[in-house]
C-alpha cells in the first residue's frame, strides 16, 4: 500500500513536467515562471509541512492517518490544477500538492524502519521507492497521451481524482506498526525530542553533515534535469506531448526501477561487509553520471540523447535507499522521522524548490543571448551538471566516518 501511495505521489508530483510546454503557451509564461510553478511553489510547502509532521510522528502520532489524509489532499489539489483559469491559481494548487505530499515521506520511512531491520531496510525502502519510477512509466506515458488528445487540463483531472479512493482503502487496511518493532524495542513515545537535541545529534555526526550536503547537491542536478529535460526534448527534437510522455515515462520508469531497487540491494549487500559502501556507492553513481549527462545535452539527435540519458537516469535515484536507511541507523528511535526529514527537507528544497526556477531563469538568459530557446535551455542544463561531481565528493567524505557514527541508537 505504501508503494501504491507513492505511485500516485509520483504521478501527481511529476506529470506537470511533461505539460509545461502546453501550459507555457496557454498562459504565455517565461521559463522562470514555469520553474516557480513546478518547483518552488511545490517545494516551499512540501518542505515546510514536513518538519512539524515529523515532530508529530516522533511524538507518537498515528502515521496511517497522516498518510491517508495527505494522499487525499494532494489528489484533490492535483485535480484542481486542471480547472485553474490563470497562472497564480495554478501556483496555489501546486502549493496544495506540496502540503499533501509533505506529510508522506516522514511517515513512510519510519513505518518501513519499524517493519524491517537494518540488514534488509535499504532493500525494503528501495522496493517502496519503486513507486516513483513505476508512476513515471505508467502515469507520464498515459498523461502525455491524454494531454495530446484531450488537453493538459484533462490529464491533471484524470490522474488526480483516483487518489481519494486509495486514501480511503489505505486507512481501512494498513495497520500502524509498533515503534521499534524491527529492533526488538517496543517503545511508546510520549513526546518528540526537541529541535535542539536533534540538531546536536545531527551536527555531531560528520557522516550526516556530508550526507546532507550530498543529498542537496545531487538533487539539484537530478531533479532539475527531471523537470527540464521533457521541455528540452519538445523544443530540441519537436516531440508532441504524447511522444514526450511516452519517451520520458519509459526513460524515468524503467531506469528508475533499476536504480531504486538496485541501489537498495547493492547498499544492503555491500553495506553488510562494510558500512562505508552505503555512501561510496552513491559517490560512484554521481561521478559516472556526470559525463553522460553532458553528452545527452549536446547530442545531435533524439535517440542519441535518449541513449546517453539512460546512464544518469538509472543512477540518479540509486543513492536514496542507502541514504534513507543510513539516517535510520544514525538516529535514536525518538529522532528517526525528523533526522530523515532533515535530509528530505534539504534535498527537496534544493532539488524541487531552487533548481527548477534557477535553471528556468538561466534558460531565459541564455535564450536571449543565443537568440533561441533550445540553446538557452541546453546551456542551462549544462550549467546544472556541475553539481554531480560536487555531490560525489560529499558522498565520499560521508563514507569516511560511518563506522564511528553508526553507534547503537539507544
Q: What is the pLDDT of residues 351-362, one digit of tens each?
A: 888 999 999 999
Residue 263 lies inside a defined structural domain of this protein: yes
Q: Which cell numbers hold the place of 4?
A: 501504491
Percent of the chain with pLDDT over 90: 40
pLDDT attached to residue 409:
44
Whether 360 and 46 have beta carbons less than 8 Å apart is answered as no
Residue 334's pLDDT band (cuts 50, 70, 90) = low
Domain that holds residue 32: 2-183+191-405
> What distance lies between CA 180 and its chain's CA centroid?
26
Residue 410 lies inside a defined structural domain of this protein: no
Mean pLDDT for 230-250 is 88
- What tens digit of pLDDT does each residue of 113-135 get? 888 887 788 788 878 888 888 88
pLDDT attached to residue 27:
93
> What distance lies between CA 232 and its chain's CA centroid?
20
pLDDT attached to residue 305:
94
What one-character DSSP code corresponds to residue 192?
P
Residue 164 in this model has a pLDDT that exceeds 50: yes
Least confident of 152-161, 189-198, 275-284: 189-198
Expressed in angstroms, the distance from the first to the final Cα of the chain is 30
Q: Which cell numbers hold the place of 140?
A: 507520464
Residue 214 in this model has a pLDDT that exceeds 80: yes
Residue 78 lies inside a defined structural domain of this protein: yes
Residue 57 lies inside a defined structural domain of this protein: yes
User: Residue 134 belongs to a domain with what CATH number?
Assistant: 1.20.1250.20
pLDDT attached to residue 410:
47
Burial class (CB in 10 A: 0-12, 13-18, 19+), 288: middle
Mean pLDDT for 304-320 is 90
Least confident of 190-194, 239-243, 264-268, 317-321: 190-194
**Rounded CA separation 99/50 (Å):** 8
pLDDT attached to residue 103:
83
pTM of the predicted structure, to 2 decimals: 0.75
**Rounded CA separation 318/283 (Å):** 10
pLDDT attached to residue 318:
84
Query: Which residues lie below 8 Å from residue 154, measured CB to CB, with a gap of 6+?
Result: 82, 146, 147
Q: Which cell numbers hold the place of 120?
A: 534488509
Residue 223 lies inside a defined structural domain of this protein: yes
Count of C-beta atoms within a 10 Å radius of residue 303: 10
Burial class (CB in 10 A: 0-12, 13-18, 19+), 86: exposed
Q: Output phi, psi for 274, to 5 deg.
A: -155, 120
pLDDT attached to residue 123:
82
Mean pLDDT for 316-322 is 83
Mean pLDDT for 365-374 is 91
pLDDT attached to residue 193:
61
Residue 238 in this model has a pLDDT that exceeds 70: yes
Percent of the chain with pLDDT over 70: 93
pLDDT attached to residue 6:
92
Mean pLDDT for 377-396 is 94
Mean pLDDT of the chain: 86
Residue 188 in this model has a pLDDT that exceeds 90: no
Residue 110's pLDDT band (cuts 50, 70, 90) = confident
- Give the number of domains in the chain: 1
Residue 86 in this model has a pLDDT that exceeds 90: yes
- What tens digit of pLDDT does each residue of 270-305 get? 877 888 888 999 999 999 999 999 999 999 899 999
Residue 291 lies inside a defined structural domain of this protein: yes
> What's the number of CA atoms in the CB half-sphere (13 Å) around residue 354?
15
- What tens digit of pLDDT does each residue of 43-64 get? 888 888 877 887 787 777 788 9
Least confident of 20-34, 264-278, 316-330: 316-330
**Rounded CA separation 174/351 (Å):** 31
Amino acid at each position: 500500500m505504501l508503494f501504491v501511495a507513492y505511485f500516485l505521489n509520483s504521478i501527481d508530483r511529476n506529470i506537470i513536467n511533461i505539460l509545461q510546454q502546453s501550459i507555457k503557451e496557454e498562459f504565455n509564461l517565461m521559463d522562470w515562471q514555469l520553474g516557480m510553478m513546478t518547483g518552488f511553489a511545490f517545494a516551499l510547502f512540501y518542505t515546510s509541512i514536513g518538519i512539524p509532521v515529523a515532530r508529530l510522528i516522533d511524538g507518537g502520532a498515528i502515521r496511517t492517518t497522516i498518510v491517508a489524509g495527505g494522499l487525499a489532499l494532494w489528489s484533490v489539489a492535483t485535480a484542481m490544477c486542471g480547472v485553474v483559469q490563470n497562472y497564480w491559481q495554478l501556483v496555489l494548487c501546486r502549493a496544495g500538492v506540496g502540503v499533501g505530499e509533505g506529510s508522506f515521506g516522514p511517515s513512510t520511512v519510519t513505518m518501513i524502519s519499524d517493519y524491517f531491520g537494518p540488514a534488509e531496510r535499504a532493500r525494503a525502502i528501495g522496493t517502496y521507492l519503486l513507486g516513483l519510477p513505476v508512476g513515471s512509466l505508467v502515469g507520464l506515458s498515459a498523461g502525455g497521451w491524454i494531454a495530446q488528445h484531450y488537453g493538459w487540463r484533462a490529464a491533471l483531472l484524470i490522474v488526480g481524482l483516483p487518489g481519494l479512493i486509495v486514501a480511503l482503502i489505505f486507512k481501512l487496511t494498513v495497520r500502524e506498526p509498533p515503534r521499534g518493532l524491527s529492533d526488538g524495542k517496543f517503545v511508546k513515545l510520549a513526546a518528540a525530542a526537541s529541535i535542539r537535541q536533534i540538531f546536536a545529534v545531527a551536527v555531531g555526526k560528520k557522516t550526516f553533515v556530508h550526507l546532507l550536503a550530498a543529498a542537496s547537491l545531487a538533487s539539484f542536478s537530478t531533479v532539475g534535469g527531471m523537470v527540464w529535460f521533457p521541455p528540452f526534448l519538445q523544443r530540441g527534437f519537436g516531440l508532441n506531448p504524447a511522444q514526450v510522455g511516452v519517451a520520458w515515462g519509459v526513460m524515468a520508469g524503467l531506469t528508475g526501477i533499476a536504480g531504486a531497487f538496485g541501489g537498495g540491494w547493492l547498499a544492503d549487500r555491500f553495506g553488510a561487509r562494510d558500512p562505508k559502501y552505503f555512501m561510496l556507492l552513491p559517490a560512484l553513481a554521481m561521478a559516472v553520471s556526470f559525463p553522460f549527462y553532458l553528452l545527452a545535452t549536446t547530442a545531435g539527435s533524439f535517440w542519441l540523447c535518449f541513449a546517453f540519458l539512460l546512464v544518469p537516469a538509472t543512477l540518479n535515484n540509486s543513492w536514496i535507499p542507502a541514504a534513507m536507511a543510513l539516517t535510520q541507523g544514525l538516529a535514536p528511535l525518538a529522532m528517526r522521522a525528523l533526522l530523515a526529514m532533515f535530509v528530505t527537507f534539504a534535498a527537496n528544497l534544493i532539488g524541487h524548490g531552487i533548481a527548477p526556477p534557477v535553471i528556468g531563469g538561466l534558460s531565459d538568459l541564455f535564450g536571449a543571448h543565443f537568440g533561441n530557446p533550445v540553446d538557452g535551455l541546453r546551456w542551462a542544463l549544462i550549467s546544472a551538471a556541475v553539481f554531480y561531481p560536487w555531490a560525489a565528493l560529499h558522498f565520499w567524505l560521508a563514507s569516511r566516518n560511518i563506522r564511528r557514527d553508526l553507534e547503537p541508537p539507544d
